[in-house]
A and B are shown apart, each in its own frame.
Chain A
């Protein structure tokens, strides 16, 4: 039983990270209807920003950790908006496939540039937050897990407030519902899309730092697998659906943790994709998505 609780806790903290990344995918898909492959590399850049900033602040302090988190999020938001402005906006009217390929190009560019600038060797991530273990019975809770869960919950609440309680959030929802009608009602689509990229990238940066705290080694290709899995999480919950992305992330993280704790551990990377295929075949709109019938 205690092993089950322990695994559940590990799974939830991994799932919270997946959820943060998945939110970025799902928001961009909501407004632009395309898969932003570069998102997983923004996640990587976020972790590296955290690495360099983490050297500037004293280790093991709450305020230092939060400052690193905030500055990296701002940095990645700017990066995400720049990518959107330079690479995606010129292709706004092109077929989705072209934007997809461009996104892949941006993703490769970030990865290889990362390898040139940061070096391909993995590095140890500094422990920017205080480290302590709490034990409840035989269940051990590390402070990092608590931080991951707390930060994710706070960020998701903030996101929910932005999307449902602010003017720009309303505009985001309008654009994702119908971009043309939104434009006719006076919504500046470009500003909204740019903002969406900024928001998603900031969440990816937070995800990157939290991931690096729990798996303390970072390298320029670290984003690929978590990125793919977070994307699966976004689909699992129903792409374009914000609570769905959070739910999908939590489910995926938990399932994956249980699988890696079992005798099938070497198949843990396949599990995410098996879930993806099952969902696609039986409920293509995802758990919380609405199914639409195609009309002629």
Chain B
């Protein structure tokens, strides 16, 4: 954690603004890849709070992402034509609406996280993983059946509000919140819950509460990432948020080394870039991707970027 986290956040936000200012000069392809990386970093870092720091294995992150994506897309699709008419608003107006939509998406995802978390966090390990997977799939099937949200076809024509500024800014905010939270006095409770639940309860920590807090915060940022994703791809379908997506995020967390924010960020970058780099080999790229995944897991089971395995884990 940097010595002055608030300054670091401010610097990062300024940097995001600067990148946005000069975004015309970059190759649009690189900007798209960077946006994809940013969204995945938000997802991975927020899941890391649940999986890595609190030790609760969740496989439903894509479900919360879809809640955020749908809700925020619904907000902009509803308000943008009513407020701005045909020709769109100014950059500030659109930005304000987008921020509102993202927050609406994040809050609804957090609420979904609360609904899912309260009953399921009584379970542990594999069982929790399965229940969250189940909830993720139920969320997906429900979206598939809600006609006002496009049903199986999904939502189309979402305005392209996601710019590189929003992505980088939320990446910075996510990392800031998660890092400051786990390094605060309150946040030690997450680590204690992971390391030894029974001992933590014995010293008076309410571990269930910590688990739910971690789950809700994780879901909130997943919802934000979903909103960014929806306004970046401009179209969302329920099948884009199935459990393969959840697994993709989990892989980033585990490959980065559980409970290691820097490692998780690097893993998210690597795993987003890998399919892009492998693009020249076209049809074989996903074969290679999965093959590399197995090899990496066999070669470095403690996570690719985790260099202090052994002494940190009890």
Contacts and interface: CB of A to CB of B under 8 A. Distances in A.
Interface of A: 34-35, 87, 90-91, 94-98, 101-102, 104-106, 108-109, 111-113, 115-116, 228, 231-232, 235, 266-267, 269-270, 273-274, 276-277, 280-281, 284, 296
B247 interface: yes
B126 A116 contact: no
Contacts of A101: 250-251, 254-255, 293, 297
B131 A277 contact: yes
9 contacts: A101-B250, A101-B251, A108-B290, A228-B137, A231-B130, A267-B141, A273-B133, A277-B119, A281-B119
Given A269-B141, A281-B119, A284-B127, A87 B298 contact: yes
Q: Please classify the interface of chain A as helix (H, G, I), strand (E, B), loop, or mixed, using the class held by over half of its residues.
A: helix
Contact of B138 (A95, A235, A273, A281): A273
A98 B301 contact: yes
Contacts of A104: 247, 251, 293
Contacts of B144: 266
A105 B137 contact: no
Nearest to B151: A266
Given A101-B254, A108-B290, A273-B134, 16 more contacts: A102-B294, A105-B290, A105-B293, A105-B294, A108-B286, A108-B289, A115-B286, A116-B283, A228-B243, A235-B130, A266-B145, A276-B131, A277-B119, A277-B131, A280-B130, A284-B127
A281 to B, nearest CB: 6
B294 A280 contact: no
B20 to A, nearest CB: 35
B70 interface: no
A91 B300 CA distance: 10
Nearest to B125: A96
A280 B119 CA distance: 10
Nearest to A114: B287
Contacts of B287: 109, 112-113, 116
Contact of A273 (B137, B254, B291): B137
B253 to A, nearest CB: 10
Interface of B: 57, 119-120, 122-123, 125-127, 130-131, 133-135, 137-138, 141-142, 144-145, 198, 243, 247, 250-251, 254-255, 258, 283-284, 286-287, 289-291, 293-294, 297-298, 301
Nearest to A102: B297
A281 B127 CA distance: 10
Contact of A280 (B123, B138, B293): B123
A235 B123 CA distance: 14
A19 B123 CA distance: 25
A35 B129 CA distance: 11
B286 A112 contact: yes
B298 A91 contact: yes
A221 to B, nearest CB: 10
A109 B137 contact: no
Nearest to A116: B283
Contacts of B145: 266-267
A50 B125 CA distance: 37
Nearest to B313: A95
B138 A91 contact: no
Given A87-B294, A112-B287, A281-B120, A270 B254 contact: no
Given A101-B250, A101-B254, A108-B289, A270 B138 contact: yes
B86 to A, nearest CB: 36
Contact of A296 (B138, B198, B247, B294): B198
B6 to A, nearest CB: 34
Given A102-B294, A106-B294, A266-B145, A280 B301 contact: no
A270 B301 contact: no
A112 B198 CA distance: 43
Nearest to A104: B247
B297 to A, nearest CB: 5
Contacts of B294: 87, 102, 105-106, 109
A232 to B, nearest CB: 8
B262 to A, nearest CB: 19
| The 6 nearest A-B residue pairs measured at CB | A273-B134, A108-B290, A105-B293, A270-B141, A105-B294, A109-B290
